[in-house]
Structure 1
Amino acid sequence: MRAIWTWAIRLVVLLVAAPLLLGLLYNLVAPVSTLMLARWATGQPVTRSWVPIEDMAPALVRSVLASEDARFCQHIGVDLVELQNVMDTADDGEPARGASTITMQLAKNLFLWGGRSYIRKGLEMPLALYLNIAMPKRRQLEIYLNIAEWGPGGEFGADAAARRAFNRGVGELSARQAALLAVTLPNPYRRNPAKPGPGLNRLASNLQARLPREGAELTACLGLSR
């Protein structure tokens, strides 16, 4: 029995230490997501080519931030303002909105599993707080843009998404194409930026209309020159 407890303690220590060490290591190497690993393990295709954030179309960077996490440069990995808004909405009896930040999505993609789970959400938040300490904002976003699932056939990252949808690299996207890719992210299995329906076109148009007002604040923490 003592041996079992010893191994259990070692396993817990390993599970805690691994994300802490990997969070630092991923500042230096290009990581893969747990979903990519799962697809490889089950023999499913994975398409991903790593592109540095400075080589991506600026319109895509701004569009993803505006669509997914407009307060990315202000929050600490967890957006306490949006979290409070969600709690207030829930108290009012209205359906709760999500308050997931890009950093939280990054924590899930790097260390956790998909699907909806209170356990996963409970792990996601402290991991996001840690990643925000261990990684600069620019690196967080660069990794997210290179590992996010962006297509139904195992396309991961913005470059794979751009080539699948528009047959061009992520650095060559127009503002409209960038907006279409950004609003595809919440559901890449059902939304097709190559053949957008009225609903997806409307979402992209609304996003483009917001960008001139929000553009400078969105990228203030990234140090991008263009």
Structure 2
Amino acid sequence: MIRTVARITAKTILWFVGLSLALVILFKWVPVPVTATMVMDGNGITKDWESLENIDPNLVAAVIAAEDGKFCQHSGFDAEAIEKAIERNRRGGRIRGGSTISQQTAKNVFLWQGGGYFRKGLEAWFTFWIENVWGKRRIMEVYLNVAETGIGTYGAEAGAQRYFGKSAARLSPDEASRMAAALPLPKQRSVKNPGGWLARHGNTIEAQIGVVKRDGLASCVYQ
């Protein structure tokens, strides 16, 4: 009995490792067709994959400013951000994470939404591999194509068309910052008519776009 269980466990692990690495290698070159988040979205799916060349650098700079200022410096995990998230969570209130863009991409492509240590462990596994197989440019390209940008809307192009009636290749700093500000909660945060804190948050991101460009914080994306 013990040998049977051990054999099944070993085969399951080998199967998972092989399949996961095959998918990582495949998606280095092939657009991600669909994700678990999209499939489980009761609002339908509107998406349009675009290469990074067709996404305005303003949006790249905006998501780095809003989500992961150390994107070009870390290897997938921001230890300082994780420590700060742990400390905030100890104080109570809404649980917050310290996820990088790389971790968010790994979760969005290969896994499901929601927390739990098991899912976080899988997220770390996929984050390690996309960092080493895809590289920063591909991670950003995939992130901007699979991230939820509105109700039933996925990716930069679909979001730009939904909110501004234009291509993601021609986003102004203001438009890019408003999309980036809504990314964490796209079903709840308004892009077209933000108010209060969200409007101020968007303005802060817009101001930081210049800092990202000036300090080369997005340089790894264009190497």
TM range (shorter): 0.7 to 0.9
Structure 1 partner of 2:173: 175
Cα distance, 1:3 vs. partner?
A: 7.1
Could you list the structure 1 runs, at least 4 aligned residues long, displaced by more than 6 angstroms after superposition.
Answer: 1-5
SS at match of 1:150: strand
- Post-superposition CA distance 1:45-95 (Å, at most 9, x none): 21111111111111111001110111000001111232234445667x577
Structure 2 partner of 1:108: 107
Structure 2 partner of 1:45: 44
Q: How many residues align?
A: 219
Which deviates the most, 30-39 or 189-198? 30-39
- Post-superposition CA distance 1:4-32 (Å, at most 9, x none): 77555434332232221111111110013
Sort the Cα spacing of 1:139 and 1:6 in 2 relative to 1 into closer, same or farther, 3 A.
same
- The equivalent position to 2:35 in structure 1, one of 33, 36, 39, is 33
Find out whether 1:18 has 2:19 as its counterpart: yes
Matches within 5 A, 1:67-106: 67-87=66-86, 93=91, 97-106=96-105
Aligned-CA RMSD value: 2.3
Cα distance, 1:122 vs. partner?
A: 2.0
SS at match of 2:46: coil
Query: One-letter code of the match for 1:171?
Result: A
Sort the Cα spacing of 1:97 and 1:36 in 2 relative to 1 into closer, same or farther, 3 A.
closer
Query: One-letter code of the match for 2:16?
Result: L
- The equivalent position to 1:189 in structure 2, one of 173, 187, 190, is 187
Which deviates the most, 192-201 or 100-109? 192-201
Sort the Cα spacing of 1:86 and 1:35 in 2 relative to 1 into closer, same or farther, 3 A.
closer
Structure 2 partner of 1:57: 56
Cα distance, 1:110 vs. partner?
A: 1.3
CA distance in 1, matches of 2:6, 2:45: 38
- Identity, % of aligned pairs? 35
Gaps of 5+ in 2: none
Query: One-letter code of the match for 1:22?
Result: L
Query: One-letter code of the match for 2:209?
Result: L
Structure 1 partner of 2:133: 134
Sort the Cα spacing of 1:19 and 1:212 in 2 relative to 1 into closer, same or farther, 3 A.
same
CA distance in 1, matches of 2:140, 2:176: 16
CA distance in 2, matches of 1:34, 1:138: 23
CA distance in 2, matches of 1:36, 1:89: 30
Give the TM-score, by structure 1 length.
0.87
